[in-house]
A and B are shown apart, each in its own frame.
Chain A
Amino acid sequence: MTGPVQQPPTSAWSMYRAIVGIGALCGLLIVTVYQTTAARIRENQERFLAMAVAQVLPAARSTLGVALTEDGRLEKTGEEFALPIFLGYDASGKLVGAVITAEGMGYQDKIRVLYAYSFDLDAIVGFKVLDSKETPGLGDRIEKEPHFLANFEKLDATLTPGGDSLLHPIVTVKQGQKINPWELDGITGATITSEAIGNILNNSATTWAPVLERNAQDFAIVELTEEP
């Protein structure tokens, strides 16, 4: 009859050696794979962004990347930004809208979205989620729920008479309770995520709609080279 085998206690050195050693090896693996795939991932992201721009502003046949200068004006840019802004032009080179990238905190992590702003309608007329880690089956419904996506056929983003802010802040309301054109009809079961989208759009449109409206005339017609 023998009792349970008593194992000798593990020394602290063995523990440190194992955990630090494995951590270093794992770090090396991740850095190597990241370095190897980074260029290809960037290419894919650029292609995906171009497709997304074409989807949210289908009237645009060409786009122009723009950036905000320190004195509050827009200027043409070829630089890459984390949250790029594009002006969209039809086949004749006439400005039809702007496509804006915005991000904010969702339920799980940051959500990055793309939306189209129409100068003629003073409204958000297109929306696409670029990056989201929201809960599958719940939060990720912002990408496919028809009644939620219907909000973006024409979501009012009219400016105040002074043109420095939105006349009505964009807010998310409970599903089925949308009354006003600046309200987002939310999603039951994805309350936090749909409210996050309302906040992201409101914050971004409050910043960008006045800037775009102020500068739109300077870019009304442009000779274009870039295709979306």
Chain B
Amino acid sequence: MLGKEVSATDDFVKGLWRENPVFVQVLGMCPALAVSNTAINALTMGLATTFVLIMSGMSVSALRNFIPREARIVSYICIIASFVTAVDYVIMAISLELHRSLGAFIALIVVNCLILGRAEAFASKNTVSRATLDALGMGAGFTVALLWIGVVREILGSNSLFGIALFPDAFQTWTVMVLPSGGFFAMAMWLLLVNWLKNRQTESQAQTQELTP
């Protein structure tokens, strides 16, 4: 019983930090770099991807005994594409301006290797509840990572956060940060920081183990 609880928590938590899809697995780089020029774009893309991850993960897991091995990729892509189309319509219904600012990237969620990767590596081999927790964790990790990149780029590049001006007249904006190259700079900075923290954590754990008799 205890083992199951730990495993369920781990299914969710691993996507947030230890196996973060952006900063550790380096998956889904296309939207992570392209749509993270503002925090709201990053958040919307993250939430849309999370929704598709959860729904496709649940569907693939529920249908895993029904889908033959030879037809799995076409089936997964069909399921993912349907949920992406649904998200596309929902975003258009919520705000056409937001839909336009995300451009073709909503449709490109279909080919986000994170979603197909989780469907193939996890959802197709586990129960619906575990697949949902895994998708939720991975989606949350993806959203948080995109948001971190988006926040840095918007503050430095546009002197605003979620469209709200921050330092009127006192701050020279770094235009490069809203350009595509700014995505690489912000991504590199976060990768550096996350890897430094992870290394420090590993060293600290190793030292603790050495000291433990």
Contacts and interface: CB of A to CB of B under 8 A. Distances in A.
Contacts of B211: none
B192 interface: no
Nearest to A35: B89
A176 interface: no
Contact of B86 (A23, A29, A44): A29
B90 interface: yes
Nearest to A46: B96
9 contacts: A10-B71, A18-B67, A19-B74, A23-B78, A33-B90, A37-B89, A41-B96, A108-B104, A136-B103
Contacts of B104: 108, 133-136
Interface in B161-201: 180
A48 B103 contact: no
B96 A140 contact: no
A137 B180 contact: yes
A45 B96 contact: yes
The bracket for how many chain A residues form the interface is 20 to 34
Given A18-B68, A18-B71, A44 B92 contact: yes
Interface string B56-98: 0000000100111111001100110111011001101101110
Contact of B68 (A14, A26, A134, A140): A14
B71 A41 contact: no
A27 B85 CA distance: 10
B70 A10 contact: yes
B79 A26 contact: yes
B47 interface: no
B84 to A, nearest CB: 10
Given A18-B66, A22-B78, A44-B93, 5 more contacts: A15-B71, A18-B68, A33-B85, A108-B104, A136-B105
B79 A40 contact: no
Contacts of B92: 37, 41, 44
Given A37-B90, A137-B180, A22 B97 contact: no
A34 interface: yes
A26 B90 contact: no
A7 B72 CA distance: 15
Most buried by B among A7, A10, A18, A25: A18
B27 interface: no
A26 B81 contact: yes
Nearest to A133: B104
Most buried by A among B90, B107, B180: B90
Nearest to B81: A26
A68 interface: no
Most buried by B among A44, A45, A135, A136: A136
Interface in A153-176: none
A80 B68 CA distance: 47
A30 B80 CA distance: 12
B82 A29 contact: yes
Closest A-B pairs by Cβ, 9 of them: A26-B82, A37-B93, A40-B93, A10-B68, A33-B86, A44-B96, A37-B89, A48-B96, A41-B92
Contacts of A58: none
A140 B103 contact: yes
Contacts of A29: 82-83, 86
Contact of A41 (B63, B81, B93, B97): B93
Nearest to A143: B100
B96 A21 contact: no
Contacts of A19: 71, 74-75, 78
A137 B34 contact: yes
A17 B78 CA distance: 14
Contact of A22 (B69, B79, B90, B103): B79
Most buried by B among A7, A27, A37, A108: A37
